[in-house]
Amino acid sequence: MEKVLIVEDSKVFARVLIRKIEDELFFDTSWASTYEETVYILEESPEKADFFVAVADLHLPDSPDGGVVDYLIAKGIPVIVYTGAYTDERRETMWSKRVVDYVLKETPDSLDYVCGLVKRIYKNKYTSIMVVDESATLRRHVRRLLEVHDYSVLEATDGEEALALLANTPSVRLVVTEYHMSGIDGLELTRAIRREHRREDLAIIGVSASNEALLSSRFLKVGANDYLCKPFASEEFYCRITQSLETLELVRKLKEASIRDPLTGLYNRRYFFDAGKKFHSCALRGAMTLAVAMIDIDFFKKVNDTHGHKAGDEVLKHVADGMAGRFRGSDIVARYGGEEFCVLAVNMSREDAQTVFDELRNSIERSRTKTASAAIAVTVSIGVCCAPHKSLEEMLAMADAMLYQCKRSGRNRVMLAP
């Protein structure tokens, strides 16, 4: 189990921090109020856990000089220093130890900032960044900075190697490239990357020690997201990296929001038709087979009337989760409207469709939606069409007709069109 370690001698402050991390970020936490308790949790506690980050105060009753930070770093745990003590000397000392960040307990906003860092560190281990520089020393310096924040780091010695590595590593989200390189320089590399990867899909940060006045604008004009002039402070470097990645995440969320149902998280009706029509065209050419299903929750109005609309929403989400977990990534599972859902399954035979959708129906019947007042049981009726017909709309109409037959025949069943 991955958790957040809180090292804080103030019970009141620790309680506030723990509540915020657990309630808002949904991470489990462990709390130590002393250096000795920190050692016990990490080395002797029977409840073993992997801590992906620690939020630590500098001044503890048995370690007033920040020794707990050294201990945590030696254990390989990224450390966010959260303290009320500030001096320029102390700040420089902490940064030299390669902490994640040094945050002052000044205002309530600082709590939000720390929570943002915790969330960022958790995401970072799934985020790949490529560093491109001919100098092994400079690559190593940037790599160490990134690894403090738990990023997955790749290195390339020049532009050609960077392009080859990028072609074979689609998981890379950010490229940090030096300008001065023999062969393909940083500007040419940026141009080449942009021919294959859009700005909103892959971020690029150019770096250079050049005094050329317009170099930053040249990088931006050929497609870079940002530019850093060397030498740069660690704090500035981390801010630029985080800002670039958060912009990518925001764009992705906006795209997802436009094709997802906000309540259930399934695809929405518009996306079902936009993507489904492309699949249907392939099916007409004989490139694949399709099965289309219409699914309706039986007596859903009764759920709302008996338990309330909030409980009804929970039932919708529960059923949606059950459907999403039953189908492959190549299939489309969407909320059609109200309590109706639709599924487009790729390369599913008629025999398999009967089995798969009946298993889905059975699993929903067995499950329960747990709400504050009750455990609610529901059933579903499912109509399926496996013949391509002339259009996706005709397939849906046939599936809907089978759904209507299910309703007339007693509900809680699956019927396939002949």
How confident is the model over 166-196, as pLDDT tens digits? 999 988 999 999 999 998 999 999 999 999 9
pLDDT tens figures, 362-374: 989 989 998 988 9
Q: For residues 334 and 347, what is the distance between their CA atoms, to the nearest angstrom?
A: 18
Residue 124 to residues 40, 53, 172, 245, 393: CA-CA distances in angstroms?
A: 27, 11, 12, 10, 43
CA distance 148 to 151: 8
Crossing angle (nearest 10°) for helices 159-168 and 186-194:
30
For 269-416, CATH gives: 3.30.70.270
Query: Average pLDDT for residues 246-257, to the nearest whole number?
Result: 89
Report the side by side order of strands in the sheet with 332-337. Answer: 332-337, 340-346, 290-297, 380-385, 414-416
End-to-end, the C-alpha distance of the chain in Å comes to 50
**Are 125-258 and 269-416 equal in CATH topology?**
no
3-state secondary structure of 2: strand
Radius of gyration of the chain (CA): 27
pTM: 0.68
pLDDT band, very low/low/confident/very high, at 87 (cuts 50, 70, 90):
confident
Q: Is the pLDDT of residue 1 over 60?
A: no
CATH assignment, 125-258? 3.40.50.2300
Q: Which CATH architecture has domain 2-121?
A: 3-Layer(aba) Sandwich (3.40)
User: Which segments of 108-150 are extended strands (E)?
Assistant: 128-132
Which one has a higher pLDDT value, 99 or 23?
Answer: 99
Which structure tokens are listed for 154?
Answer: 């790749």
Nearest Cα to Cα of residue 321 among 264, 376, 387 = 264
Identify whether 134 is a catalytic site residue.
no
pLDDT score of 257: 85
What local confidence, expressed as pLDDT, does residue 84 receive?
87
Q: Indicate the residue type of 112.
A: D
For residue 306, how many other CB atoms are within 10 A of its CB? 12
Closest CA to 392 of 302, 291, 317: 291
C-alpha 279/C-alpha 13 separation (Å) is 55
Question: Which is the catalytic residue, given 188, 339, 340, 351?
Answer: 339
What confidence score (pLDDT) does residue 266 get? 95
Which one-letter amino acid corresponds to residue 353?
A
- Confidence at 2, pLDDT banded by 50, 70, 90: confident
- Residues ≥6 apart with Cβ < 8 Å to 309: none
Ordered by start, the domain boundaries in the chain are 2-121, 125-258, 269-416
